[in-house]
């Protein structure tokens, strides 16, 4: 049976870490929509050129165009047994489009679809964000409290000096949290009504959350 996963939850809830682990565990492609869009633009494809024209003007990439790019990716051979979709959908409109995309690709293929919601307290989330550090060289993410490096201030993988994003502060974190619940949280009810939502307690260590994830899938 084909397995399809999407993940819901506010910024810094741990989705990225767990989706990467699950992709390796299930041997499914991890489709990161942000990276997918950047790759499409870098390739100079027709869809990439159109997307770039919107971004260059400071506009959001249209829902239909993002959907077209995602459909092309999910139609590839490595997704025939399923996928782990990261960063999409972000609205009910996009969720409807994803359902349509899946129905066109899957047709008569039996599918096990999961929408997994990372449930986390706002205070814990903000603490994660303000303590987050990243490697500018290899992109690895750390946290001063939850995932510290072996040598303080330096990446375990490549040894580069870690940096902190300018927007990783309490004020911005609260604003992002509010934006998430205004724009994306309606998806929780959307997938609950379709009987495919599973809620995951996202508070704890990476391994604790990972073990809970394995239990519910």
Per-residue pLDDT tens for 36-94? 988 999 999 999 999 999 988 888 889 999 999 999 999 999 999 999 998 899 899 99
**CA dist., res. 82 & res. 68, Å (int):** 18
- Kindly report, residue by residue over 97-106, the tens digit of the pLDDT: 999 999 999 9
The CATH architecture annotation of domain 2-121+172-216 reads: 3-Layer(aba) Sandwich (3.40)
Minimal CA–CA distance to 191: which of 108, 113, 107, 111?
A: 113
Q: Are 139 and 155 in contact (CB under 8 A)?
A: no
Q: Are 112 and 5 in contact (CB under 8 A)?
A: no
Phi-psi region of 148 (alpha: psi -120 to 50; beta: other; left: phi over 0): beta
Tokens of 18: 């767990």
* Across 122-143, average pLDDT: 88
Minimal CA–CA distance to 140: which of 166, 161, 126?
A: 161
Confidence class for position 201, pLDDT limits 50, 70, 90? very high
Q: Decide: helix, strand or coil at residue 182.
A: helix
pLDDT at residue 160 in the model: 96
Confidence class for position 129, pLDDT limits 50, 70, 90? confident
**CA dist., res. 142 & res. 138, Å (int):** 12
DSSP assigned state of 162? P
pLDDT at residue 147 in the model: 86
pLDDT at residue 165 in the model: 83
* Strand-pair category, 132-134 with 2-8: unpaired
Residues recognised as catalytic:
15, 90, 132, 165, 176
Torsion sign over Cα 85, 212, 132, 95:
positive
DSSP assigned state of 147? B
pLDDT at residue 184 in the model: 83
Predicted TM-score (pTM) above 0.75: yes
């Amino acid at each position: 049976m084909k397995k399809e996963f999407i993940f819901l939850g506010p910024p810094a809830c741990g989705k990225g870490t767990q989706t990467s682990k699950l992709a390796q565990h299930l041997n499914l492609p991890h489709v990161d929509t942000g990276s997918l869009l950047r790759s499409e633009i870098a390739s100079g494809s027709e869809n990439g050129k159109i997307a770039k024209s919107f971004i260059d003007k400071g506009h959001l990439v249209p829902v239909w165009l993002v959907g077209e790019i995602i459909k092309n990716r999910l139609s590839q051979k490595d997704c025939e047994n399923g996928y782990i979709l990261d960063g999409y959908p972000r609205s009910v409109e996009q969720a409807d489009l994803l359902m349509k995309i899946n129905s066109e690709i899957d047709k008569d293929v039996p599918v096990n679809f999961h929408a997994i919601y990372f449930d986390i307290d706002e205070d814990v989330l903000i603490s994660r964000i303000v303590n987050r550090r990243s490697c500018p060289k290899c992109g690895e993410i750390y946290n001063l409290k939850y995932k510290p490096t072996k040598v303080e201030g330096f990446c375990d993988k490549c040894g580069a000096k870690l940096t902190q994003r300018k927007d990783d502060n309490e004020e911005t974190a609260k604003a992002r949290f509010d934006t998430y619940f205004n724009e994306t949280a309606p998806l929780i009810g959307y997938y609950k009504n379709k009987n495919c939502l599973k809620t995951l307690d996202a508070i704890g260590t990476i391994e604790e959350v990972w073990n809970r994830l394995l239990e519910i899938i």
